[in-house]
Chains A and B, each alone.
Chain A
Amino acid sequence: MTAVTTPAPRPPAARRGRTPVPADPDRGIVSVADRRRRGVRWPLRASHVLLLVSLVVVGLGPILWLAKAAVTPTQDTLRTPLALFPHGVDWANLSEAWTRFEIDHYFGNTMWLALGSWAVQLVVAVSGGYVLSVLRPAYGKVLTALVLSTLFVPAVVLLVPLYLTVLDVPFAHVSLINSFWAVWLPAGASAFNVLLVKRFFDNLPREIFEAARVDGAGPFRVGWSIVVPMSKPILGVVSVFAFISAWKDFLWPLLVLRDVDKQPLSVRLPALESYVELDVFLAALAISTAIPIVIFLIFQRTFLQGAGLGGAVKG
């Protein structure tokens, strides 16, 4: 996570002697001098072309095939899956898939689930991080340790007890089954988010908070007008993680959202798999893929930065 806050430290430059080429801050393994050498340049180019072709075939290929199959009649897909429209294009698949699967409805559920999870995670992480890092009550250390300890508990352990908890929430004694809260609230219990935000706050200059306090601002005011505005970068990261994980969830919504009307697309698609003709089913898969891809292309930068940070943990 070092990359979140500070650039990776560079070792003291211990270079001696002549520099063969001007220092290039963006340079990689292959130097400018290397690139001039034929023995390096051509293999390098070839490797890039090869890489691009592989990426297109492997990364894009299946998705392109799905796009093709979405508008191909079932029998063509079954008999000649790789032929290009031997018996024409069947555009009707798309509209049939849209209505049969009520994609707008279930995609709406997916978005709603992701949105709610995101909001809960943000509230818990920001308020929690603020308390643990800035306000530091006497019980803060214990609390931090308790939050921290949950990092070591793999999600799988919680599957059954969490399910039973959602069935009958302690104290409140209500069942959250078939309620979006059954997905949103457990999503908020992410130690990763809390500690990430806490750590970010730890690195903010404390003088600002102290000054504000001296000026008579209470904890809420300091939080709202100073900490929240300053934490935009970290909130972006938390948001990407929150959204992606909500997006990918399958088992948990499958268990707690038994009401078909509330299920996300990921739960609905397999349920209808056996009841829908293959071409329409593939059209439904294609639409379900197209939507996130469009979102990805729009927010490409944020996504890739967020994903990169996932590994920047080691700094």
Chain B
Amino acid sequence: MALTTVRTPEAVLRAETPQRGPGRAPRRRTPLTWVRGGGLSTLVLALPLLVVFGLFSWFPIVRAVVMSFQSTNLVTPAEWVGLENFQYVLADPLLPQAATNTLYFALLALVFGYPVPLVAAVLMSEVKRMRGLYAALAYLPVVVPPVVAVLLWKTFYDASDTGVFNTIAGWFGLGPFPWLQDQAWAMPSLVLEATWAAAGGTVIIYLAALTGVPPELYDAAEVDGAGVWRKVWHVTLPQLRGVLFVTFILQIIGTAQVFTEPYLFTGGGPANSTTTILLMIYHYAFGGRGDYGAATALSLMLAVVLAVLSAVYFKLTSRWSS
């Protein structure tokens, strides 16, 4: 299960609509004709999907909903407690802060991670020679395993004046900065690393989208006398609108589930300034009290918010593509 990997419902959904070819002719349904008609083989072929999804997707989803109304400690039988878990979570003084932190993370991730890859990709798309080198360089941080990246950046963020970043800052007469050791600095530091680790992927996505922009549109714009900037503004960006929106939503959904960075960098500190919703869920469930009910209740609340986002996203994109 990749907690950080987000897939797009929309693209796959759209695939559902047109079914090609006529349906098969209706048959009389007896067990024998069913087997003869390949029904059994079909079922056997469907088994991997049925078993894997049944056990590791559908069942846990149902279980999540059930558990959020239960008090479960795995020793004594689960007890129905109605909305108690939800009330408990909503009354947790940490919740508003964790929610704010999560939003703040998402916002910073957009500020840091949204425009830069776009600019880089647009510039890169104009590179004629060795574009592969540019792309590979941009993508290199993505290849570094996320845990390694975090541990490496932890070294960079050494807050002493001989830390890596503080040494560099010192060249410009700045710093030393506290990086992770300060309530105001910690979150931006986390996002900076996360952006470094992820931006390359976004660049490549934009680059792929840019090659899909029909050259005729540029030709046409030139006929109308458009300069480079106007072409960027009136042709490139509108053509990228779709992919820009996709990455926007995906980034929000992805950052809402961020775990590795706060867990490994700061453990949620200093003073809860980097505690995210997922970290809270983790602590409810695995941090000591084993409060699985509260953990699933909070998960469900987060899921509803994300589902609404997904729905909005689906709605908008399907309108655009029609």
- Are B2 and A48 interface neighbours, CB within 8 A? no
Which residue from chain B places its CB closest to the CB of A52 in the assembled complex?
B134
Q: How far is the CA of A7 from the CA of B275 in the complex (A)?
A: 44
Contact of B151 among A65, A191, A196, A273 (CB under 8 A): A273
Known interface pairs A23-B219, A29-B218, A59-B137; A48-B3 also in contact (CB < 8 Å): no
Which residue from chain A places its CB closest to the CB of B150 in the assembled complex?
A270
Q: How far is the CA of A43 from the CA of B218 in the complex (A)?
A: 20
- Are B164 and A314 interface neighbours, CB within 8 A? no
Known interface pairs A62-B152, A82-B164; A29-B232 also in contact (CB < 8 Å): yes
Most chain B beta-carbon neighbours within 10 Å: one of A11, A267, A289, A297? A289
- Are A81 and B167 interface neighbours, CB within 8 A? yes
Q: How far is the CA of A15 from the CA of B24 in the complex (A)?
A: 46
10 contacts between A and B (CB under 8 A): A82-B168, A155-B5, A156-B299, A159-B299, A188-B48, A245-B2, A248-B145, A251-B282, A300-B136, A304-B139
| Chain B residues in 8 Å Cβ range of A218 | 38, 41
| Chain A residues in 8 Å Cβ range of B295 | 159-160
- Are B151 and A130 interface neighbours, CB within 8 A? no
B residues apposed to A, CB below 8 Å: 1-13, 15-16, 18-21, 23-24, 38-39, 41-43, 45-50, 52-53, 55-61, 63-64, 67, 74, 120, 122-127, 132-148, 151-153, 155-156, 158, 162-164, 167-168, 196, 200-202, 204-210, 212-220, 222-223, 227-228, 231-232, 235-236, 242-243, 245-247, 253, 256-257, 259-260, 263-264, 277-278, 281-282, 285-286, 292, 295-296, 299-300, 302-303, 306-307, 310-311, 317, 321
Known contacts A81-B163, A154-B306, A195-B15; 20 further A-B pairs (Cβ under 8 A): A1-B15, A27-B215, A29-B126, A51-B123, A55-B138, A77-B155, A81-B158, A148-B12, A154-B303, A156-B257, A157-B303, A170-B59, A188-B48, A218-B41, A249-B3, A270-B264, A278-B155, A300-B136, A308-B204, A312-B205
Q: How far is the CA of A268 from the CA of B98 in the complex (A)?
A: 28
A31 at the interface (CB under 8 A from B): yes
Q: How far is the CA of A255 from the CA of B43 in the complex (A)?
A: 33
Q: How far is the CB of A211 from chain B (nearest CB, A)?
A: 13
Q: How far is the CB of B313 from chain A (nearest CB, A)?
A: 11
Most chain A beta-carbon neighbours within 10 Å: one of B19, B132, B139? B139
Q: How far is the CB of B114 from chain A (nearest CB, A)?
A: 13
Q: How far is the CB of B4 from chain A (nearest CB, A)?
A: 6
Contact of B56 among A15, A144, A159, A186 (CB under 8 A): A186
Q: How far is the CB of B286 from chain A (nearest CB, A)?
A: 7
Q: How far is the CB of B188 from chain A (nearest CB, A)?
A: 16
- Are B7 and A192 interface neighbours, CB within 8 A? yes
Interface set, chain A 174-191, CB cutoff 8 A to B: 183, 185-191
Q: How far is the CA of A88 from the CA of B74 in the complex (A)?
A: 57
- Are A185 and B55 interface neighbours, CB within 8 A? yes
Contact of A120 among B52, B205, B245, B259 (CB under 8 A): B52
- Are A152 and B1 interface neighbours, CB within 8 A? no
A92 at the interface (CB under 8 A from B): no
A residues apposed to B, CB below 8 Å: 1, 3, 8, 10-11, 13-17, 19-20, 23-31, 33-34, 40, 44, 47-48, 51-52, 54-56, 58-60, 62-63, 65-66, 69, 77-82, 120, 123-124, 127-128, 130-131, 135-137, 143-144, 146-148, 150-165, 169-170, 183, 185-192, 194-196, 198-199, 202-203, 206, 218-220, 223, 241, 244-252, 255, 265-267, 269-270, 273, 278, 281-282, 285, 288-289, 292-293, 295-297, 300, 303-304, 307-315
| Chain B residues in 8 Å Cβ range of A249 | 1-3
The 6 A-B residue pairs with the shortest CB-CB distance, nearest first, are: A311-B205, A308-B208, A128-B49, A192-B7, A314-B242, A199-B15
- Are B12 and A199 interface neighbours, CB within 8 A? yes
| Chain B residues in 8 Å Cβ range of A148 | 9, 12-13, 16
- Are B12 and A156 interface neighbours, CB within 8 A? no
- Are B209 and A312 interface neighbours, CB within 8 A? yes
| Chain A residues in 8 Å Cβ range of B222 | 20, 31, 33
Contact of B61 among A161, A186, A192, A281 (CB under 8 A): A161
| Chain A residues in 8 Å Cβ range of B12 | 1, 148, 151, 191-192, 195-196, 199
Known interface pairs A120-B52, A202-B19; A161-B64 also in contact (CB < 8 Å): yes
Most chain B beta-carbon neighbours within 10 Å: one of A44, A58, A161, A285? A161
- Are B285 and A163 interface neighbours, CB within 8 A? yes
- Are B260 and A250 interface neighbours, CB within 8 A? yes
- Are B257 and A127 interface neighbours, CB within 8 A? no
| Chain B residues in 8 Å Cβ range of A80 | 162, 167
Q: How far is the CA of A3 from the CA of B41 in the complex (A)?
A: 33
Q: How far is the CA of A220 from the CA of B286 in the complex (A)?
A: 45
Which residue from chain A places its CB closest to the CB of B142 in the assembled complex?
A307
Known interface pairs A219-B45, A248-B4, A289-B145; A270-B151 also in contact (CB < 8 Å): yes
| Chain A residues in 8 Å Cβ range of B6 | 154
Q: How far is the CB of A57 from chain B (nearest CB, A)?
A: 10
Which residue from chain A places its CB closest to the CB of B215 in the assembled complex?
A27
Q: How far is the CA of A112 from the CA of B286 in the complex (A)?
A: 26
Most chain B beta-carbon neighbours within 10 Å: one of A8, A17, A304? A304
Q: How far is the CA of A188 from the CA of B205 in the complex (A)?
A: 25
- Are B148 and A289 interface neighbours, CB within 8 A? yes
| Chain B residues in 8 Å Cβ range of A158 | 1, 57, 60-61, 64
| Chain B residues in 8 Å Cβ range of A165 | 55-56, 59-60, 63
Q: How far is the CB of B69 from chain A (nearest CB, A)?
A: 13
Which residue from chain B places its CB closest to the CB of A255 in the assembled complex?
B286
| Chain B residues in 8 Å Cβ range of A147 | 49, 53
